[in-house]
Amino acid sequence: MQKHTRVTAKDVARLADVSTSTVSRVLSGKGADLIGADTAERVRSAASTLGYSPDPIARALRGEQTFLLGLIVREIADPFFASFVSTLNSQARALGYQILLSHAHSDPKEALQVAAVLDARHCDGVLVLGDLRDDEAAFQTLLQREKAIVGLCRGHAPGSLYTVNSDNELGVRMLFEHLWSLGHRRIAYLDGGWLGDIRERRDAFLAVSAEKGVTPPNGSIRVVNSDMAGGKRGAVELLGLTERPTAIMASDDAMAIGALRAVLEAGLQVPGDVSIVGFDDIDASAYTVPALTTVRQSIDEMSRQALRLLIGLIATENRPEPGTLIRVKPELVVRESAGSARVP
């Protein structure tokens, strides 16, 4: 355990009275079949009495797998991403991998630096959670260089990035249909302003609106920060519209929570006067008053798929279709924040 008392292959070799090469062969499994059964046994027992396990650093230097996975997250403090990181971390560890965490905020330059660091650390692969604002292209270009990369929650990422995503369009459709069936026709949208996931949702919103033959009232698409503060500010603006929307759809739950606060603060009822829906189903959404009607992204499933994909990429040379995009189905969660539209 102590650094100075680290047990090495040499120690095991000495105890088992073999060479270090034999130790390596037995323990790594490569060429273990050529080793005499008794010798192998001796090595194994020596290793276990000594509590030996090969040093990942030495392995890395030799160019072997490091079992390190880089994780670049747009914003760890975002509750949705936080849950995601948590799940990813647990699942990765169960698969024998460790997570090297990196924050990229929204800055692609930072992401570049971070990617370089991850590369320097000999990560076997990297996960990119959430899209970065603006300079997406440069970011991608660089990431192509890495051996194995999987994007998560980045919408329909262009290029040959492997990606795992929610079916954002389906999610938005479910939400929209739900509002529609409650009689809402004047539905405003709070756009978080990102490129990937969030952009897909807005596009889907626009598409469904068009299909339904309604045009969102003038100025009712607001681009704001995708956090509670942004949601609040956006909603305040929306409430000032001459044709006040009867429902507000937000790009994500954090924004919806901000919007909820804004509407309530204005002395209006939710859902009596204005209905609100979000996206993600973060923990807090079940505890607002009224509780948020939203769409649940299956973090567990997405995480599992992403890890499977990434580890597959690491293991094999012949990769699946570049550009592979896995969509995970979201699920409508009806709670209290959306109700019948008040007849005008």
Binding site for a second copy (CB under 8 A): 1-3, 53, 55-58, 60-61, 63, 68, 71, 75-79, 82-83, 85-86, 89-90, 93, 98-103, 105, 114, 116-117, 119-122, 142, 145, 147, 227-228, 232, 257-258, 260-261, 264-265, 283-284, 286-289, 291
Contact criterion met (CB below 8 Å) for 45 and 59: no
51-80 footprint of DNA as x/- string (CB under 7 A): -x-xx--xx-xxxx----------------
Which of a second copy, DNA, none does residue 35 bind to, with CB < 5 to 8 Å depending on kind? Answer: DNA
Of 220, 341, 333, the residue nearest 272 (C-alpha): 341
Closest approach of a second copy to the CB of residue 61, in Å: 5
Rounded to 10°, the helix 79-94/299-315 angle is 50
Q: Choose the contact partner of 232 out of DNA, a second copy, none; CB within 5 to 8 A by kind.
A: a second copy
φ/ψ bin of 219: left (φ > 0), alpha (ψ from -120 to 50), beta (otherwise) = left
Query: Binding residues for DNA, how many (CB under 7 A)?
Result: 32
Sheet holding 187-191, edge to edge: 221-223, 187-191, 247-250, 275-277
The secondary structure of residue 280, as a DSSP letter, is B
The smaller minimum CB distance to a second copy, of residues 208 and 276, is found at 276
What DSSP string describes 2-30? -STT---HHHHHHHHTS-HHHHHHHHH-T
Distances (CA, A) of 58 to 51, 176, 262: 17, 55, 56
Q: Looking at residues 27 to 56 of the shown chain, list those that interact with DNA (rule: CB under 7 A).
A: 27-28, 30-31, 34-36, 38-40, 52, 54-55
Q: Identify which of residues 125 and 151 has a Cβ nearer to a second copy in the complex.
A: 125
Among residues 51, 28, 53, the alpha carbon closest in space to that of 40 is found at 28
Q: Is the Cβ of residue 174 or residue 299 nearer to a second copy in the bound state? A: 299
Does residue number 116 form part of the binding site for DNA (CB under 7 A)? no
User: For a second copy, which is the closer residue by CB, 102 or 220?
Assistant: 102
Rounded to a whole number of angstroms, the minimum distance from the CB of residue 125 to a second copy is 12
Question: Of a second copy, DNA, none, which one does residue 343 interact with (CB within 5 to 8 Å by kind)?
Answer: none
What is the smallest separation between the CB atom of 146 and DNA, expressed in angstroms?
Answer: 17
Binding of DNA at residue 18 (CB under 7 A)? yes
Q: By C-alpha distance, which of 315, 136, 121, 299 is closest to 102?
A: 121
Which pairing describes strands 331-333 and 325-328: parallel, antiparallel, or unpaired?
unpaired
108 prior amide bond cis, ω within 30: no
> H or E stretch including 70?
strand 68-73
137 binds DNA (CB under 7 A): no
Q: Which of DNA, a second copy, none sits in contact with 239, Cβ below 5 to 8 A by type? A: none
| Contact partner, 266, from a second copy, DNA, none, Cβ < 5-8 Å per class | none
In contact, 226 and 252? CB cutoff 8 Å:
yes
As measured in angstroms, the least distance from the Cβ of 32 to a second copy is: 22
- The dihedral of CA 173, 179, 181, 187: what is its sign? negative
289 binds, among a second copy, DNA, none (CB under 5 to 8 A by kind): a second copy
Residues 6+ apart with CB under 8 A from 261: 228, 232
Considering the rule CB under 7 A, would residue 20 count as an interface residue with DNA?
Answer: yes
Find the part of the chain contacting DNA (CB under 7 A) among 23-31, 70-78, 252-260, 275-283.
23-31
Q: Which stretches of the chain bind DNA, using CB under 7 A?
A: 6, 8-10, 17-25, 27-28, 30-31, 34-36, 38-40, 52, 54-55, 58-59, 61-64
